[in-house]
Structure 1
Amino acid sequence: MLSEKVGMSLDIQVMASDAPIFGRSPDVHGRVVNGIVDLDLVKEWLQICGRHHKDACETVWWRDGDERLPESVRMVDVDALSIVPAPPSCRYIALSYVWGGVGEEYQSMQANIVHRMTPGGLDLGILPATITDAIELCRRLGERWLWIDALCIVQDDRTDVDVQIGVMELIYGTAFLTIFAAGGHNAHAGLPGLRERTRAKKQHMEMIQDVHLAVPLPTLGAVLTQSVWGTRGWTYQELMLSRRRLYFTEHQVYFECGQEVWCEDVLAESNRTPRSYHPLRYTGGGSFTTLKAPRGHTGNQLTSGYTSVIGQYTQRILTNETDTVNAVSALTNAFTKAFKLGGSVPSRAFRFGMALADLDHAVLWQPAQSVLLTRRNILGQAPWPSWSWAGWRGPVEYRVPWSTALGHPIVVESLVHSWYICEHGTLAKLDVRAIAGVGFPEEGSRKRYVPPSERTDPEQAPHASEGDLVFRTTAATFKAQRIDGVQVNEDARYEVFAILPAAGRIYLPRSTRSPSDLRLITLSRCNAVAGLYDTQVYGDMYSGGCFLNVMAVQESEQRKLERIGIGIIFEQAWIEANPSEEQVCLG
């Protein structure tokens, strides 16, 4: 039964067939989950969405107008069993699944693509179960066109791979429906419940006093969290960008769109039940899939959306490290379009996965507490820069580790006038959105920090290489010391250190020697909570951003700086340290 409408959760379900015993409508009661998926129910979900949700599930917030798939995109014709150029304005289904290292024999290659593009050229006998099931499902749903990455992208053609990755936002964001094979470890797992004996009965039912009761199956969000599919890097953007989603899991089939979440074991399709009482509300796959723009602190939607995406994406696993940026590029392309960044050119808006327009916030990522980050070195390539999260192996977050406040770090003023990036041996100025300070006046003898004026000189960056940031700022040396008496999780690989003398906080590897000399450079102005510095030495906090975001750096063998960690320091402590003005080359 529904455990009080304010709770919106199901503890024990009365089956819909017994609802009349209590004089109740069958709506929001249990439904029997059989061994085979009822595809008529799936069709009903799609029809309800199409009839009642209209533009809410047709349009996407990040794209203006009717942008079509480019001619380079291919589809599987499930009727002709061939791969064909995507027909103009075709309604198609996309597949999201775990590859799982099942081999290359079924993939499209330069050697077989021409044959596969002839009628009957796609041999079902060599395709793994997930793909053959997806083809069969499309047929039974009455749909003809299906997009599957392993078949529609020529895997050994680097040019084709790059082109298709570049339009992945369109491929998943335009699909009429995406099938998510979330029930197995690899492409051989199939779609549980599509065929006989492909899923075990998970629903537990009992009869008590002639009433059929059932324990609800897990929510969609819980199932995805525990699935192998939910741990993979590529599947994250496929989930986030899809408008309608049909999930095949070992428990049951779930449907999610921009307005609703439905599943086999709850009869909840009736529009007679107010959405606020819906037991499946808020149990779906992800916040980005609401198809609405991210809600930002003080209206900063780019910052809140970007930091949320990176925080979730970096928790996932990639088989190939070279995919680190590519596997989230569909989402960064969506941000490029939504906020018209870099002239709507993704390569100008994002570099190494970092939002260049919002660089003051983007550089403030912090490592997750439980995993020690290590530098990412890709065979045959120069190391990706340390200033980007993509240059490190491991999960990162945008949070303030020395504060109980929720949300991403807030920058109240930019302190770097101009940022440059090394491209093809020359320095190119970045179009970074400057955050103007409030302009509070100096009070009495208290001075405000004044950043260096713009005098970046390309000739003074002889050691800059591809991807290095070059900018003018100030630098000073402080000591970092472990904070006594602070309880730290035994599994933690990072902890908060004090910047001495009692001047601020910084997040460093737990193994850092204490005390330790740190070279710090200033990045931006911010606010913070009380208790992070010695007020008897530096005075009380004041308005207008009395803390500075700083980065701890060290010099590399190439005579440029590398990131160690991010911290904050009280402004007066920084001024009293007499920092030196420097042109920084940050790799």
Structure 2
Amino acid sequence: MCIVDAPEECPYFALSYVWGDEEDPFQTTLARLHAMKDPGFLEAQVLPKTIVDAMVLTREMGVDYLWIDRLCVIQDSDADKAVQIPQMDLVYSHATMSIVAACGTALDGLAGINGTERIIKQNIARVAKDVSLMDVLHLDQSHENSRWMTRGWTFQEGLCSRRILIITSDQVYWSCETSKCCESIAFEAFPTAVAPNDIIFNVLTGHKVFGEVGGGQNFAFGELDSMIRSYCTRKLTVQADVLDAFTGVLRRVAVNTGHEFYWGHSVSMRFDDSLGWANIVWYPDSEWEAQEKPERRRETHRVRSSDGTVHKVRFPSWSWLGWKNIQGVSRPAPKQVLVEPELQFMKLSLDGKAAKLCSAKEQKLDSVMKLNMCGIDQSTSAGWKGDTSIDPSLFHMDNDGEFRDSGHLLFWTSHAVLDVEDGKIYNDAREEVGELKPFWPYQMQKPSGKQSFIVMSRKYNDDNLKVLKAEKRLNALLVEWEDREKRVASRICAAGVDEAAWIGLGEKREWILVTLT
């Protein structure tokens, strides 16, 4: 066995597993890459048991090629990672089958394969001479309790796979586009028909083991909100991988729906509304201090230019990707309805040049709900809104070369400094103007005193499943100034304000050009 460049269109398996806590894991590096291509090289190495078992299983099933990340990605090459890591979904979606090691880490092996022990905890009681009673294996328990279910990368590996074999400590599960089954005698008849816009978790009647793995996933935009929420509960060893480990899901949704994404948010429809995402979490008083609290992600994302160079960009504060420990993230993907935004957002390059968020090949999308503006028109926002156009001299032009994204947004908006107390927002007359949206556990102390707020969008009520209703309220962000003179700010949390009260601030409001990092 050795590392090879596989022939085109060849059948291959892919391994999805948890690396574990190895001190010096064997992996592909630039120094040993050439030697690893020699036939028989891998047999002479001490490889983790899970990888050895996966190789044995692949060979016994008559397949010649197996893709394993630590062997097929050059681990000490930023250039190779910048090419391969954003395409992980393609590796798993093109694989003939994905092997999921849900019975431990790379060191524990695949239960029942190549001599690795299976651990089946099943109580049996003899009640008569020839009669015994036995526990039925819980359908989801071994899978739900596995470390594989806690890791960020395995989320899209499971979702994007066409066929998947899940090996747990006590049984094996199979999932593909036409069949869902397991070894247990319980619940063997699984519903399999998945229609466009179906919610996968509902179709599969609550069996989580099949709700987040391959076969039958339709990647509808209406599912994206719940997929983001599930993904945010996972953990990443390398925090800088947060976008790469979800890019495959976004790519699948984009292909299926026509949406275009920018830092985890759709820019094809209601981008402004998605910036008002919240984080709704609740912990008992005895537990909340032990929980990890939301905090800004400090790591950087690798961006590869067309010439092969790699530059690193900090994750933006305005995106859910820019924050850690947001296990209750809510509304990062609002309902698909055509709505004219109040403000015009542009993206900024590392050179400070502005460009449209959407590409020139933007696709026309259909609304899934009716829109009722409830008598609101341009005159409603005239009291707080000014000219939203950007100076053409700031635009990125073709002769400026490739657009190197910074992750920053540029836009005109309305700004005011208001008092905050116990999550409520007040004007100078101590009249309530609005409130902060949930972000921290309720037991945590919230920002207080004088705080800066900027308007992001109009508030829409989508509680009705058929009609989206406009409201005379505004979505805003509480921001911290990184450079007050240059109007460079970062998001702290979202808020909602009454539009009439905002207009009533008068001279306390100002119309400014903001860079949001």
TM-score by length of 1: 0.68
Aligned amino acid, residue 474 of structure 1: S
Partner of 2:166: 247
Deviations 1:272-329 (A, max 9, x none): x9999x99973424357453434xxxxxx43x33322221112111111221222222
462, 473, 476: which one pairs with 1:547? Answer: 473
Deviation at 1:527, TM superposition (A): 3.3
443, 449, 456: which one pairs with 1:516? Answer: 449
Instruction: Kindly indicate whether the alpha-carbon contact (under 8 Å) linking 2:273 and 2:458 is maintained by their aligned counterparts in 1.
Output: no
Deviations 1:365-393 (A, max 9, x none): 22352542222223896643211222222
Instruction: Kindly indicate whether the alpha-carbon contact (under 8 Å) linking 1:192 and 1:198 is maintained by their aligned counterparts in 2.
Output: yes
Say yes or no: does 1:326 pair with 2:244. Answer: yes
Query: Cα distance 1:82–1:383, how it changes in 2: closer, same or farther (>3 A)?
Result: closer
Deviation at 1:481, TM superposition (A): 2.8
269, 293, 308: which one pairs with 1:372? Answer: 293
Instruction: Name the CA distance, whole Å, in 2 between partners of 1:268 and 1:306.
Output: 28
Partner of 2:255: 337
Aligned positions, number: 455
232, 256, 266: which one pairs with 1:355? Answer: 266
296, 312, 319: which one pairs with 1:388? Answer: 319
Query: Cα distance 1:172–1:400, how it changes in 2: closer, same or farther (>3 A)?
Result: closer
Instruction: Kindly indicate whether the alpha-carbon contact (under 8 Å) linking 2:276 and 2:476 is maintained by their aligned counterparts in 1.
Output: no
Aligned amino acid, residue 231 of structure 1: T
Partner of 1:100: 20
* Secondary structure, counterpart of 2:330 in structure 1: coil
Alpha-carbon RMSD across the aligned residues, in angstroms, is 3.7
Partner of 2:233: 315
1:432-451 matched pairs, under 5 angstroms? 438-441=372-375, 448-450=380-382, 451=385
Query: Cα distance 1:409–1:512, how it changes in 2: closer, same or farther (>3 A)?
Result: farther
TM-score by length of 2: 0.77
Unaligned runs of 5+ in 1: 1-80, 295-300, 343-348, 402-406, 483-496, 531-541
Unaligned runs of 5+ in 2: 195-202, 284-291, 301-310, 396-403
Instruction: Name the CA distance, whole Å, in 2 between partners of 1:498 and 1:167.
Output: 44
Partner of 1:262: 181
For the pair shown, the structure with the greater C-alpha radius of gyration is: 1
Partner of 1:583: 513
Partner of 2:200: none
Instruction: Kindly indicate whether the alpha-carbon contact (under 8 Å) linking 1:365 and 1:396 is maintained by their aligned counterparts in 2.
Output: no
Instruction: Name the CA distance, whole Å, in 1 between partners of 2:205 and 2:434.
Output: 45
1:405-554 matched pairs, under 5 angstroms? 413-425=339-351, 426-431=353-358, 438-441=372-375, 448-450=380-382, 451-457=385-391, 466-482=406-422, 497-500=423-426, 501-507=431-437, 509=440, 511-512=444-445, 516-528=449-461, 544-554=470-480
Query: Cα distance 1:124–1:205, how it changes in 2: closer, same or farther (>3 A)?
Result: farther
Deviations 1:62-89 (A, max 9, x none): xxxxxxxxxxxxxxxxxxx122212221
1:555-566 matched pairs, under 5 angstroms? 555-557=481-483, 559=486, 560-566=488-494
Query: Cα distance 1:520–1:564, how it changes in 2: closer, same or farther (>3 A)?
Result: same
Say yes or no: does 1:113 pair with 2:33. Answer: yes
Deviation at 1:571, TM superposition (A): 2.6
Partner of 1:183: 103
Instruction: Name the CA distance, whole Å, in 2 between partners of 1:175 and 1:573.
Output: 57
Aligned amino acid, residue 566 of structure 1: A
Instruction: Name the CA distance, whole Å, in 2 between partners of 1:286 and 1:396.
Output: 18
Aligned amino acid, residue 518 of structure 1: Q
Say yes or no: does 1:132 pair with 2:52. Answer: yes
Identity of aligned residues (%): 28
